[in-house]
Amino acid sequence: MPVSGLSVIQKRIEELRQKLDYHNYRYYVLDSPEISDEEYDSLMRELKQLEEQYPQFLTPDSPTQRVGAAPLEAFGVVKHPLPLLSLGNAFVTEDLFAWHARALKLLGVQQFDMVCEHKMDGLAVALTYVNGHLTTGATRGDGFHGEDITQNLRTIRSIPLSVPKDAPPRFEVRGEVYLPKIGFHKLNKERESEGLPLFANPRNAAAGSVRQLDPHITAKRPLDIYIYMLGYAEGKPVPPAHWETMEYLKSLGFKINPNNKRVSCIEEAEEYYQKWTRQRESLPYEADGVVVKADLLAYHNLLGDVGREPRWAIAYKFPAIQGTTRLKEIGISVGRTGTLNPYAILEPVQIGGVTIKQATLHNEDDIRRKDVREGDWVYIQRAGDVIPEVVGPIVSRRAGNEKEFSLLEKIFDKELGRPACPECKGEIVKPDGEVMYYCSNAACPAQVQERLEHFVSRGAMDIRGIGERLIALFLREGLVKDASDLYALKDKRTQIVRLEKMGEKSADNILNAIEKSKQQSLARLINALGIRHVGEETANLLVEHFRNLDDLGSTTKEKLMTMPGIGPKIADSIVAFSHEEENKKIIGKLKKADVNPQMEEVKAEGLPLSGREFVVTGTLKAFSREEAHNRIKALGGTVKDNVTHNTTYLVIGLDPGENKITRARALDTEQIDEEKFLAILG
Ligand code: IVH
């Protein structure tokens, strides 16, 4: 091609990148997109194609390259040019006022402006930009050395990969990477269905996500960032105050918390704290306090640091939603994949208006680390709507008769002379490198019950009307033994009608729901099968490579390992699952019952609703929820349970879910009534 032709292509590539960066910024930083996802995707496709055809024009900060890097063996170490300090804490008003009085005295002034911010509960990172490009992203580490997590941070859409040309030639910004509450709940739900230990809170989840060696996994987690400080800037003057610096960073494309506030006296700072103490639960992220900072940067220098804490800022912590009670006993429940999950059985206690009787204890390692013993008085914490957690023992209240916990001892069966599953007496195993113990008996009734509950659950085959109670009944009556038997229930209608609290109508509804579930996608079915370590997220990855269950069943560990986001643990688990005779039988029966979804070769591009995502809430007049979903899908649209940034329309029927509407309002999602919905369906 003549050089002039190439330069036209290069120009188009640059134009596409600029457009994509701009729309990315509108969407992820400003939360205010100007174009539809569909238009965005089409620009992205064009850019990808051009870059594939003309690799000489590919650059590392092209928007196509956010998730490009291969998994690492380990993270490198980054030396921070300026140490990342921590913050002194205030727990009561007096602490805040004392901090302020001391600063006034040291500065020799009567008053100084301050900036109040939320203390984000996430993970501190430092981002370095050189000549306009993001070159390094590092964790805080010990404050002096952090881990190089650049390739993971690049996957966070609200972190700009490049900044305008007039930015300082070298500078570092600092901020907090966090996982919004919604993302946290979703992630934990997925982990639960994959039989993985749950994250205790969004902070741990964010830290776990950012410290993945495979950036594809990080990319799947809806991480976000707020920048809260300029570390340093070279080669260009920057504003003299923190507030203006934040405005300036905003103008460079960084995401700054809109709840920040500049105040001129400490009483105002106190008010800010009080306001957010009351409203913290309404925030879409976890904050554990407010940070009050002197505004003028010259004052930062004058005030200096004590130890590793600056005197120019203080963290005023929110009161923890904590309580104390006695831990009567540690119980063990058996999860779907056989995990033995320890949990605390508590003397009931009221915390923030909720009675708590049980709390999670994660796993034995965690219990040991915290040194929690049966009979202990313990601190219990409830953060937002997260499952209550045992924070730790009150050692000073020990009487001496508390009992240290050992899982194997707890489940030791005297008759058998070995540890045994508390539900089925099955043998216990602990795979290498895992923290959980498992019941190895796949026929364990607790596991069977949990597996069936998972199979019919919303994220899986979504069979409405069947839940914990009915499954227990089906099992008790011998109507089903595994998930595939659900599809044979239609031949046992008379028996079902006779079940407790059943009747003709309910029985038919249930049988219809089972029949309808045959239409569910391959990803849902894979998730529903309950393969250890394979939940919604992994199932969605798998269907990009396998067309049906047979394909998946005949794959090898090697092939699986070539797929982004699939490591040896998942690969082993899938292969082991497929080779298990019992599973082969179940899959055979599912296929025979016509539960055998196929991936379509061609994606639904070109259909009238392709690229549009719907969430339906409330009852529609014209058709059932299921029918509405099918219509949308038939026209190429997608249907989701929850409103996210990707939702195009929230369809509102009678008695809609308030949460969905609030969420749609917050995200500026278009809300439509049934009439408009029908018009869209044509
Ligand atoms: S300013 C000199 N602002 O809190 C330290 N920190 O205990 C300046 N944090 O590791 C930090 N939200 O990760 C600052 N709005 C905010 C913050 C914030 C959360 C974290 C930060 C740091 C820790 C210090």
Q: Are 257 and 227 in contact (CB under 8 A)?
A: no
pLDDT at 118 > cutoff 50? yes
**Dihedral, CA atoms, 228, 233, 236, 240, nearest 10 degrees?**
50
Find the domain containing 261 and state its range.
89-317
- Whether residues 513 and 532 share a domain: the answer is no
CA of 105 to the centre of ligand 1 (A): 24
- Whether residues 278 and 327 share a domain: the answer is no
CA of 82 to the centre of ligand 1 (A): 15
Q: Are 583 and 577 in contact (CB under 8 A)?
A: yes
Supply the residue whose CA is at minimum distance from atom 24 of ligand 1. 86
Q: Looking at the domain assignment, is residue 599 inside a domain?
A: no
pLDDT at 504 > cutoff 60? yes
Ligand 1 contacts CB of residue 140 (under 6 A): yes
pLDDT at 327 > cutoff 70? yes
pTM reported for the whole predicted model: 0.59
Q: How many helices (H) and strands (E) would you count in the chain?
A: 25, 26
Is 115 or 351 the better-scoring residue by pLDDT? 115
Pocket test for ligand 1, best of 85, 120, 174, 242 (most atoms within 8 A of CB): 120
Supply the residue whose CA is at minimum distance from atom 14 of ligand 1. 228
User: Looking at ligand 1, which atom is closest to the CA of residue 118?
Assistant: 15
- Whether residues 549 and 511 share a domain: the answer is no
Query: What is the predicted pLDDT for the residue at 601?
Result: 56
Domain ends where: 519, 549, 576?
A: 519
Q: Are 446 and 340 in contact (CB under 8 A)?
A: no
Per-residue pLDDT reduced to its tens digit, 181-210? 999 988 888 887 776 777 767 888 899 899
The beta strand positions in 539-607, using DSSP E, are none
Number of domains the chain is built from = 6
Helix axis angle, 581-592 to 568-579, nearest 10°: 70
Pocket test for ligand 1, best of 82, 85, 87, 117 (most atoms within 8 A of CB): 87
User: Looking at ligand 1, which atom is closest to the CA of residue 124?
Assistant: 13
For strands 287-294 and 313-317, give the pairing.
antiparallel
Q: Looking at the domain assignment, is residue 73 inside a domain?
A: no
The beta strand positions in 308-384, using DSSP E, are 309-310, 313-317, 322-334, 340-351, 354-360, 377-381
Per-residue pLDDT reduced to its tens digit, 543-556? 988 989 999 999 99
Q: Are 255 and 246 in contact (CB under 8 A)?
A: no
CA atoms within 13 A on the CB side of 626: 15
Which amino acid belongs to residue 58?
A: L
- Whether residues 126 and 271 share a domain: the answer is yes
Ligand 1 contacts CB of residue 207 (under 6 A): no
- Whether residues 107 and 119 share a domain: the answer is yes
pLDDT at 573 > cutoff 70? yes
Supply the residue whose CA is at minimum distance from atom 12 of ligand 1. 119
Q: Distance (Å, rounded) from C-alpha 470 to C-alpha 528?
A: 18
* Span of 227-236, 293-302, 364-373 with lowest mean pLDDT: 364-373
- Whether residues 472 and 547 share a domain: the answer is no
Query: What is the predicted pLDDT for the residue at 464?
Result: 92
pLDDT at 114 > cutoff 90? yes
Ligand 1 contacts CB of residue 86 (under 6 A): yes
Please report which confidence band the pLDDT of residue 4 belongs to, taking 50, 70 and 90 as the band edges. Answer: low
- Whether residues 588 and 650 share a domain: the answer is no
CA of 102 to the centre of ligand 1 (A): 20
Is 59 or 117 the better-scoring residue by pLDDT? 117
CATH number at residue 17: 1.10.287.610
Which stretches within 311-429 are classed as H helix?
Answer: 364-370, 407-410
Q: Distance (Å, rounded) from C-alpha 215 to C-alpha 248?
A: 30
pLDDT at 444 > cutoff 80? yes
* Beta bridge pairs of residue 291: 117, 315
Please report which confidence band the pLDDT of residue 486 belongs to, taking 50, 70 and 90 as the band edges. Answer: very high
DSSP label of 179: -
Is 564 or 336 the better-scoring residue by pLDDT? 336
- CA-based nearest residue to 18, from 227, 153, 160, 222: 160
List the strands of the sheet with 638-639, edge to edge. Answer: 638-639, 613-617, 649-652, 670-673
CA of 591 to the centre of ligand 1 (A): 54
Q: Looking at the domain assignment, is residue 351 inside a domain?
A: yes
User: Looking at ligand 1, which atom is closest to the CA of residue 310?
Assistant: 2
pLDDT at 526 > cutoff 80? yes
Ligand 1 contacts CB of residue 280 (under 6 A): no
Supply the residue whose CA is at minimum distance from atom 3 of ligand 1. 228
In this prediction, what percent of the chain has a pLDDT beyond 70?
A: 97
- Whether residues 206 and 308 share a domain: the answer is yes
CA of 119 to the centre of ligand 1 (A): 6
CA of 622 to the centre of ligand 1 (A): 53
Task: Write out the two tokens for 525.
Answer: 């079915």
The span from the first CA to the last CA of the chain, in angstroms, equals 46
Q: Distance (Å, rounded) from C-alpha 469 to C-alpha 457?
A: 13
Q: Looking at the domain assignment, is residue 502 inside a domain?
A: yes
User: Looking at ligand 1, which atom is closest to the CA of residue 260?
Assistant: 15
Ligand 1 contacts CB of residue 87 (under 6 A): yes
Average pLDDT, the chain: 91
- Whether residues 293 and 339 share a domain: the answer is no
CATH number at residue 105: 3.30.470.30
- As a whole number, mean pLDDT of residues 602-618 equals 77
- CA-based nearest residue to 229, from 17, 68, 342, 83: 83
- As a whole number, mean pLDDT of residues 220-249 equals 96
CATH number at residue 645: 3.40.50.10190
Query: What is the predicted pLDDT for the residue at 602?
Result: 43
The answer for 606, left when phi > 0, alpha when psi is -120 to 50, beta otherwise, is left
pLDDT at 468 > cutoff 50? yes
List the strands of the sheet with 76-79, edge to edge. Answer: 76-79, 145-148, 133-139, 123-130, 170-178, 224-234
Supply the residue whose CA is at minimum distance from atom 2 of ligand 1. 85
- Whether residues 638 and 577 share a domain: the answer is no
Please report which confidence band the pLDDT of residue 70 belongs to, taking 50, 70 and 90 as the band edges. Answer: confident
User: Looking at ligand 1, which atom is closest to the CA of residue 123?
Assistant: 13
Q: Specify the 3-state DSSP secondary structure of 607.
A: coil
Ligand 1 contacts CB of residue 291 (under 6 A): yes
Q: Give the list of residues 6+ apart from residue 212 with CB closer than 8 angstroms, or none.
A: 152, 218
Query: What is the predicted pLDDT for the residue at 78?
Result: 92
Pocket test for ligand 1, best of 80, 119, 283 (most atoms within 8 A of CB): 119
Task: Write out the two tokens for 92.
Answer: 């009561």
Q: Are 295 and 262 in contact (CB under 8 A)?
A: yes
Q: How many Cβ atoms from other residues are within 10 Å of residue 434's Cβ? A: 15
Round the CA-based radius of gyration of the chain to a whole number and report it: 28
Query: What is the predicted pLDDT for the residue at 606?
Result: 66
pLDDT at 383 > cutoff 70? no
CA of 142 to the centre of ligand 1 (A): 14
Ligand 1 contacts CB of residue 228 (under 6 A): yes
pLDDT at 415 > cutoff 70? yes
* Kind and range of the H or E run holding 176: strand 170-178
Q: Distance (Å, rounded) from C-alpha 630 to C-alpha 624?
A: 10
- CA-based nearest residue to 640, from 496, 256, 632: 632
pLDDT at 484 > cutoff 90? yes
- Whether residues 164 and 112 share a domain: the answer is yes
CA of 322 to the centre of ligand 1 (A): 23
Q: Looking at the domain assignment, is residue 440 inside a domain?
A: no
Supply the residue whose CA is at minimum distance from atom 23 of ligand 1. 86
- Whether residues 193 and 178 share a domain: the answer is yes
Ligand 1 contacts CB of residue 119 (under 6 A): yes
Supply the residue whose CA is at minimum distance from atom 9 of ligand 1. 119
Q: Are 369 and 340 in contact (CB under 8 A)?
A: no
Task: Write out the two tokens for 558.
Answer: 């090697």
CA of 317 to the centre of ligand 1 (A): 12
Q: Are 68 and 138 in contact (CB under 8 A)?
A: no
Query: What is the predicted pLDDT for the residue at 72?
Result: 80
Please report which confidence band the pLDDT of residue 604 belongs to, taking 50, 70 and 90 as the band edges. Answer: very low
Per-residue pLDDT reduced to its tens digit, 145-165? 999 999 999 999 999 999 999
Supply the residue whose CA is at minimum distance from atom 16 of ligand 1. 119
Q: Distance (Å, rounded) from C-alpha 564 to C-alpha 556?
A: 15
Residues taking part in catalysis: 119
Query: What is the predicted pLDDT for the residue at 667?
Result: 85
Query: What is the predicted pLDDT for the residue at 389?
Result: 87
Q: Looking at the domain assignment, is residue 285 inside a domain?
A: yes
- As a whole number, mean pLDDT of residues 44-71 equals 88
CATH number at residue 553: 1.10.150.20
Q: Distance (Å, rounded) from C-alpha 510 to C-alpha 516?
A: 10
